[in-house]
């Protein structure tokens, strides 16, 4: 071993801090022992990653290029890229309406949640009992999607709360979830409603980081509230806004539990989204190949959208 032949650094003997292990051999041994211990500590995690992350990923890739009905593992029939081409073939519903719905759903929830949380978060900053307000807005987040979906589904019904209010105001009833024209926007509202609380929290954290002196300087210069908002608050809030934007967009592109609960993709395919389609192909029709291919396409869309968002904000000079 080369290390043991190396001369002892003088500083060490002077301090006398090291115990009586001659040379650096003890150190290497300790290093080695620490490595073993470290991997012992990591063993459950790495085992999990291997079995439930790496293996599934390979399996999904294999399935996406096979035809398989889901029974005998020996019956996996490799077909190459057929599943992918079928998704985009003429007459396939995958591009329209399914992927279109997915993007509209995500865009709609991001726009609503962003606008709503920005409005509420800046307003809460000027009120007392801030904690109470934030807690109230947070309630939907700790609630199961089954509860949120069912309560809103019921509220949208002809005899439900929303139509009750509309009728009370003298307006006619709207068949929110039963009409293909209003079904998707109606679910979008619910998704945005449910995610408002966490967006408010992130923006609040961003608002608190804006130095008070900026506002004082603006006040001295006689800037009005609108100018202050657009010239100071909004630019300084950009990292938080980007964070909300990206995470909400990701959630929006992937979500389907709310849709399963509220509309099951209907009426017709008005609210059918990619993750729901993937789920149905696999677990209702037993077409695991198509389902896995759809999953990968959705994954690529998610990746592309996220990278684009990062790129746009980077170009504007933000460190994210």
Partner 1 sequence: MTRRRFPWLPYLVVVAGAVLTVVPFLDMVMTSFKGPGEAGTLPYRFLPKAFDLSNYRAAIDQLDLPVLFRNSVVATAVITGSVLLTSSLAGYALAKLRFPGRDFVFRLVLATMMFPPFLFFIPRFLILVHWPLAGGNDLLGRGGAGLTVSIVALAVPFLVNGFGIFLMRQFMVAIPDEVLEAARIDGAGEFAVWWRIVVPQTKPVVVTLGLLTFVDAWNEYIWALLVSTANPDVMTLPVGIQLLQDHVDPARTMPVVMAGLVLSVLPVLLLFLLLQKHYIRGVMLSGLK
Please list every residue from 77 through 106 that binds partner 1, using CB under 8 A: none
Choose the stretch contacting partner 1; rule: CB under 8 A; options: 82-90, 91-99, 177-185, 202-210: 202-210
Residue range at the interface with partner 1 (CB under 8 A); choices 1-9, 85-93, 101-109, 156-164: 156-164
Class of residue 299 by CB neighbours under 10 A (exposed 0-12, middle 13-18, buried 19+): middle
Task: Compute the least distance from the CB of residue 90 to partner 1, in Å.
Answer: 26
Asked if 214 is part of the footprint of partner 1 (rule: CB under 8 A), the reply reads no
Distance of alpha carbon 130 from alpha carbon 70, whole angstroms:
53
Cα–Cα distance for residue pair 55/51, rounded to 1 Å: 5
The one segment of 78-86, 88-96, 97-105, 188-196 that binds partner 1 by CB under 8 A: 188-196
Angle at 114 between CA 109 and CA 116, to 5 degrees: 95
Of 111-130, binders to partner 1 (CB under 8 A) are 116, 119-120, 122-124, 126-127
Pick between residue 188 and residue 291 the one whose CB is nearest to partner 1. Answer: 291
Judge contact between 274 and 98, C-beta under 8 A.
Answer: yes
User: What is the smallest separation between the CB atom of 88 and partner 1, expressed in angstroms?
Assistant: 19
Least CB distance from residue 174 to partner 1, whole Å?
A: 13
The stretches of the chain forming alpha helices (DSSP H) are 2-5, 10-15, 25-49, 55-64, 82-87, 100-124, 130-138, 145-155, 161-168, 180-208, 212-220, 225-228, 234-236, 238-254, 257-262, 274-283, 288-315
* Total of residues contacting partner 1 (CB under 8 A): 100
Give min distance, CB of 25 to partner 1, in A. Answer: 17
150 token code pair: 């069912």
Interhelix angle 161-168/145-155, rounded to 10 degrees, is 30
| 48 part of the interface to partner 1, by CB under 8 A | yes
Cα 236 to Cα 46, 209, 229, distances in angstroms:
40, 9, 10
Q: Which residue, 23 or 70, is less far from partner 1 as judged by CB? A: 70
The residues in 283-312 that bind partner 1, with binding defined as CB under 8 A, are 283, 288, 291-292, 295-296, 298-299, 302
Angle at 88 between CA 87 and CA 94, to 5 degrees: 60
Give the one residue of 138, 185, 210, 238 binding partner 1; rule: CB under 8 A. 138
Q: Which stretch binds partner 1 (CB under 8 A): 2-10, 88-96, 105-113, 149-157?
A: 149-157
67 binds partner 1 (CB under 8 A): no
């Amino acid at each position: 071993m080369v290390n043991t032949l190396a001369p002892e650094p003088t500083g060490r003997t002077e301090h006398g801090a090291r115990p009586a292990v001659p040379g650096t051999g003890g150190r290497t041994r300790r290093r080695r022992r620490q490595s073993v211990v470290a991997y012992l500590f990591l063993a459950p995690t790495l085992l999990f990653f291997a079995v439930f992350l790496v293996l599934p990923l390979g399996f999904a890739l294999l399935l996406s290029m096979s035809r398989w009905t889901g029974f005998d593992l020996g019956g996996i029939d490799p077909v190459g890229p057929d599943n992918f081409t079928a998704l985009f073939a003429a007459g396939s519903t995958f591009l329209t309406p399914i992927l279109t719905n997915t993007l509209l759903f995500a865009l709609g929830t991001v726009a609503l949640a962003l606008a709503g949380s920005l409005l509420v978060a800046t307003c809460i900053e000027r009120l007392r009992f801030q904690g109470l307000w934030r807690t109230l807005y947070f309630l939907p987040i700790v609630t199961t999607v089954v509860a949120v979906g069912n309560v809103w589904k019921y509220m949208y019904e002809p005899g439900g709360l929303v139509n009750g209010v509309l009728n009370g105001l003298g307006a006619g009833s709207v068949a929110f979830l039963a009409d293909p024209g209003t079904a998707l926007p109606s679910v979008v509202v619910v998704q945005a409603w449910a995610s408002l609380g966490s967006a408010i929290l992130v923006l609040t954290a961003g608002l608190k980081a804006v130095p008070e002196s900026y506002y004082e300087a603006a006040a001295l210069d006689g800037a009005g509230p609108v100018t202050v908002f657009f010239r100071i608050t909004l630019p300084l809030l950009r990292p938080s806004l980007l964070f909300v934007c990206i995470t909400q967009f990701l959630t929006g592109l992937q979500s389907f539990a709310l849709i399963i609960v509220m509309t099951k993709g209907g009426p017709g395919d008005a609210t059918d989204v990619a993750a729901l389609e993937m789920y149905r192909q696999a677990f209702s029709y037993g077409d695991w190949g198509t389902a896995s291919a759809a999953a990968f396409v959705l994954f690529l869309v998610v990746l592309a959208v996220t990278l684009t968002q990062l790129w746009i904000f980077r170009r504007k000079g933000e460190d994210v």
